[in-house]
Amino acid sequence: MKVRSEQELAEVLAGANAPVRIQGGGTRDIGGPVSGEVLEVGICGVELYEPEALTLVARAGTPLAEIEAVLAGEGQRLAFEPMDHRVLLGTKGEPTIGGVIAANVSGPRRILAGAARDFALGARFVDGSGRVIKNGGRVMKNVTGYDLVKLMAGSWGTLGVLTEVSLKVLAMPETEATLVARGKDAAEGIAALSAALGSPWDITGAAHLDPGVAGPESETRVRIEGLAASVDYRIGALQREICVGWEVFRDDDSVALWRQVRDVAPFADEPVVWRLSVKPSAAPEISEALGVVGLGHAALYDWGGGLIWIAPGPGHDDAGAQAIRAQIAAHGGHATLVKAPADLRARIDVFQPQTGAVAALSRGLKQQFDPRGILNPGLMG
């Protein structure tokens, strides 16, 4: 079923007597399998764009590509660099802005600019009872009442169905460049990334790729963006202080390196892929510990080490869940099974299992927003 207006959606949800599976473009088939009729959000269109105010308001079903084209026309973009999950998951369809926000999808630039949730200024949504709710607005500073926009971002359609989002946008940089080192092990690579991120030179990408991920040798990458003169200055400073002897890639070459990281393209053929958010310095230790307990794997580290993509390879009947979650228990953070066959996702907690008060609060919120449990039940656990 496809709804084309907020009012129609509200009527459908108010009258629903069975669970529904909410879908934007259908490109992010992530989470526990949801049984239920597909409810496609076909509520589309850019409603307002004020480049001088750095704000754009769009209906949730608007294709991301349309928004990016509108922004590019004014030399602007979504700074949080949302990942295109089609590459990793092999899905078809057009990603929508509602899906991006509902899944809080960010890319490499998250490390400096912030996540999708940080750029979401306002939202309209329909909750599980069919109530139409608005929260936030379209201005950059707004503390009027509780911030339900943050709550909706990353709730994967389990609390409400987004119908409209207001976004903060930013100017595209004049130019970009990437410094690359080869042959460092994960600990060395991540230490170098830490040093770069601790410098005043506004690093907008910091990744390390294990040997075999993007080439026979490991690669450690650092990105800078901005006005041409400033990028040159910062490359020089980094090469002098931290990235001594690293190779420089500019413009399109740099863009390609980060598209690969953003979309986790090297793992496109892997059947099982995990995403771990951890304290950056813990990343090499976690990776090594997984090897020690027999979880053979390759890793791609983004966010200076704070985001680890792991492809465990074949031979683990729980996809490595136990080993990975044990590491999370020891080091903090969370692990999500982003890619796996549906039967595996039905057996294993896809999202980090919660305990205690946090679990109780999350359950309580779900109960308030969706008392009948009809919105994507089971998707988040």
Q: Which of residues 284-313 bind another protein (CB under 8 A)?
A: 303, 306-307
Strands (DSSP E) contained in 43-86 are 46-50, 55-59, 76-77
CB closer to another protein, 237 vs 265: 237
CB closer to another protein, 159 vs 179: 159
How far apart are the C-alpha atoms of 164 and 96, rounded to whole Å? Answer: 11
How far apart are the C-alpha atoms of 124 and 296, rounded to whole Å? Answer: 44
351 counts as binding another protein under rule CB under 8 A: yes
50 counts as binding another protein under rule CB under 8 A: yes
How far apart are the C-alpha atoms of 305 and 209, rounded to whole Å? Answer: 10
380 counts as binding another protein under rule CB under 8 A: yes
Candidates 12, 151, 268, 348; binder of another protein (CB under 8 A) is 151
What angle do the packed helices 283-292 and 186-197 form, to 10 degrees?
Answer: 160
Strands (DSSP E) contained in 183-255 are 203-209, 219-226, 247-250
Residue pair 36/18 in contact by the 8 Å Cβ criterion: yes
Residue pair 332/269 in contact by the 8 Å Cβ criterion: no
227 counts as binding another protein under rule CB under 8 A: yes
Site size for another protein (CB under 8 A) = 86
How far apart are the C-alpha atoms of 208 and 47, rounded to whole Å? Answer: 39
* Site map (CB under 8 A) of another protein, residues 57-96, x = contact: -----------------xxx--------------------
Candidates 46, 239, 362, 372; binder of another protein (CB under 8 A) is 362
Q: How far is the CB of 171 from another protein (least distance, A)?
A: 3
Between residue 96 and residue 135, which ones bind another protein under the rule CB under 8 A?
104, 106, 110-111, 114-115, 117-118, 127, 131-135
Candidates 332, 341, 342, 373; binder of another protein (CB under 8 A) is 332
CB closer to another protein, 113 vs 298: 113
Read off the amino acid at residue 43.
I
278 counts as binding another protein under rule CB under 8 A: yes
Q: How far is the CB of 315 from another protein (least distance, A)?
A: 26
CB closer to another protein, 297 vs 366: 366
55 counts as binding another protein under rule CB under 8 A: yes
Between residue 17 and residue 46, which ones bind another protein under the rule CB under 8 A?
none
Candidates 1, 45, 73, 279; binder of another protein (CB under 8 A) is 279
138 counts as binding another protein under rule CB under 8 A: yes
213-217, long-range: CB < 8 A, 24+ apart:
213/266, 213/267, 213/298, 213/299, 213/300, 214/260, 214/266, 215/182, 217/182, 217/183
Please name which of 206, 195, 200, 310 lies closest in space to residue 264, comparing C-alpha atoms: 310
Distance of CA 27 to the CA centre of its chain: 13
Between residue 236 and residue 275, which ones bind another protein under the rule CB under 8 A?
237
Between residue 152 and residue 211, which ones bind another protein under the rule CB under 8 A?
153-155, 159, 170-174, 191, 194, 197-200
**What are the tokens at 115?**
């996540």
Residue pair 190/282 in contact by the 8 Å Cβ criterion: no
CB closer to another protein, 42 vs 275: 275
CB closer to another protein, 292 vs 358: 358
Across the strands, what pairs with 207? 221
- What letter does residue 238 receive in the DSSP assignment? H
Q: How far is the CB of 216 from another protein (least distance, A)?
A: 29
CB closer to another protein, 18 vs 143: 143
How far apart are the C-alpha atoms of 248 and 82, rounded to whole Å? Answer: 24
280 counts as binding another protein under rule CB under 8 A: yes
CB closer to another protein, 42 vs 333: 333
